[in-house]
Amino acid sequence: MVPGYRRTRPPRATRVLMLNQVDDNRRCQNHHAMPALRPQLTPPYRHLLAIDTSTDVLSLALAISDGTANVSAWAITTTSGASGAKASAGMVPAIQKLVRDAGLTFTDLDAVVFGQGPGAFTGLRTACAVAQGLAASARPGGMPVVPVNSLLATAQAARVEQADATARQWTACLDARMGEVYVARYRFDAGLTPVTLPVEIAASGLMTPLALREALTGSTDGLAGNAHAVYADVLADLPAAPVWVSATPSATALLHLTPALWAAGAAVPAAAAMPLYVRDKVAQTTAEREAAKRASTVDPTHG
C-alpha cells in the first residue's frame, strides 16, 4: 500500500452511474419488480465485464459465455482507448455503450473483472474505483469482483496473441518507468484458457533493465511485455531469447484467466477489491531520474 494513501471517492462519472442505478432500482421497487437473482450456472456466471487501465491503454471487454469455462467459445466484444487521466472521464460512457450495444443492462452482469496491477498508479485506482462502483450499485446485494494481476494478464495476452496453448513458462516484463521494470514469472499448463491457475514461480517485483538482462540471459521462457521496446538499448540483443511478444494486459486476457481465478476463489465482494502496488514511491526527484537514467545505460561488456 502506498504510504499516505487514502480511499477517495470514485471518479465523478462513476458516482453519476451509481446514482442513476439507485434511481433505476427505486423505480423497480415502486413497480414491485425488483430484479430476481438468477440461478447459478456452472460456472456461476454468464455475462462478464472486464476492465484494464494498468498501462497507457484503456481496454474493455464484455463477454457472454455459453455457460462453460471455454472462453474461446464465448461471444466477446471489445473496445479500447487512451488510459491515464482521460480514462476516468471516458471509461464509464464506453462501458455503458458496450453493455447497451449487447442488449444488456448492468443488472444482467454477473461479475466485473479488472486488472489490479502492478501498473500505472492512476490507472489502477481508476479501474478499481469503477469496478467497485459498478459491482456495488448494479443491483441489490451487488455482484462479485475478480481482481487479476496485470503481469499474469500480460503473459496470458502474449499466449492469446500467439495462439500458444502449450505448457511452458512465461516471464512478464512491463515498463514501470523511473528506470525500472515490473517482472513476474509463471508456469502455464497446456490449453489457451487456463483450467487451473498458472503457478507463480516468481512474484511481482521490480528490476532495473540491466538486472533483467542478466536474469533473462539463457532463459528458455516465453517473454511478454513492453519492456523490450522501452529498454531496447539494453534488451534488444538479449541472447538466446526464443520469443519476446510485445503484449500488454488486455481485457480479453483477463477474461481468459477468469474461469481459473473463479475456481480458485479469487472473486471478492466489491469492498474487498484493491489495487496491487509493487512500488511505494510514484515519482522521482530530478537527481533520482538522472541516476536512474545512468543506471539504465548499456553495460559496455554487452557491446
Reduced DSSP (H G I as helix, E B as strand, rest coil) percent helix, strand, coil of the chain, to 5: 40, 25, 40
The x, y and z cell numbers of residue 49, run together, are: 465485464
Helix (H) or strand (E) holding 42: none
**If we measure between CA atoms, which residue out of 185, 215, 224 comes closest to residue 201?**
185
What whole-number distance in Å separates Cα of residue 183 and Cα of residue 181? 6
The rounded Cα 124 to chain-centroid distance in angstroms is 9
User: What is the reported pLDDT for 240?
Assistant: 59
Mean pLDDT value of segment 92-108: 95
pLDDT level of residue 44 (50, 70, 90 thresholds): confident
DSSP 248: -
Mean pLDDT taken over the chain: 82
Res 197 pLDDT > 70: yes
Mean pLDDT value of segment 217-245: 86
DSSP 164: -
Mean pLDDT value of segment 224-235: 93
Mean pLDDT value of segment 212-238: 91
Mean pLDDT value of segment 126-135: 96
User: What is the reported pLDDT for 47?
Assistant: 96
For helices 121-137 and 12-30, give the axis angle rounded to 10 degrees: 10
pLDDT level of residue 90 (50, 70, 90 thresholds): confident
Burial (Cβ within 10 Å: 0-12, 13-18, ≥19) of residue 263? middle
pTM: 0.80
The x, y and z cell numbers of residue 233, run together, are: 538499448
Give the model confidence (pLDDT) of 141-164 as tens digits.
899 999 999 999 999 999 999 999
Res 198 pLDDT > 60: yes
Give residue 68's region: left, alpha or beta (phi > 0; psi -120 to 50).
Answer: beta
Residue carrying the nine cell digits 521490480 = 206
Give the model confidence (pLDDT) of 244-256 as tens digits.
899 999 999 999 9
Cβ proximity of 110 and 259 under 8 Å: no
Q: Is 68 helix (H, G, I), strand (E, B) or coil?
A: coil
Q: Is 62 helix (H, G, I), strand (E, B) or coil?
A: strand
Give long-range contacts, CB 8 A cutoff, 24+ apart: 277-284: 277/1, 277/2, 277/117, 277/118, 277/121, 277/124, 278/117, 278/118, 278/176, 278/182, 278/204, 278/205, 278/206, 279/118, 279/176, 279/178, 279/180, 279/206, 280/2, 280/3, 281/178, 282/2, 282/121, 284/178
The rounded Cα 152 to chain-centroid distance in angstroms is 8
Q: What domains can be seen in the chain, in order of their start residue?
A: 12-150+249-272 (3.30.420.40), 151-245 (3.30.420.40)
Determine what percent of the chain is predicted with pLDDT higher than 70: 75
The x, y and z cell numbers of residue 291, run together, are: 541516476
Res 296 pLDDT > 80: no
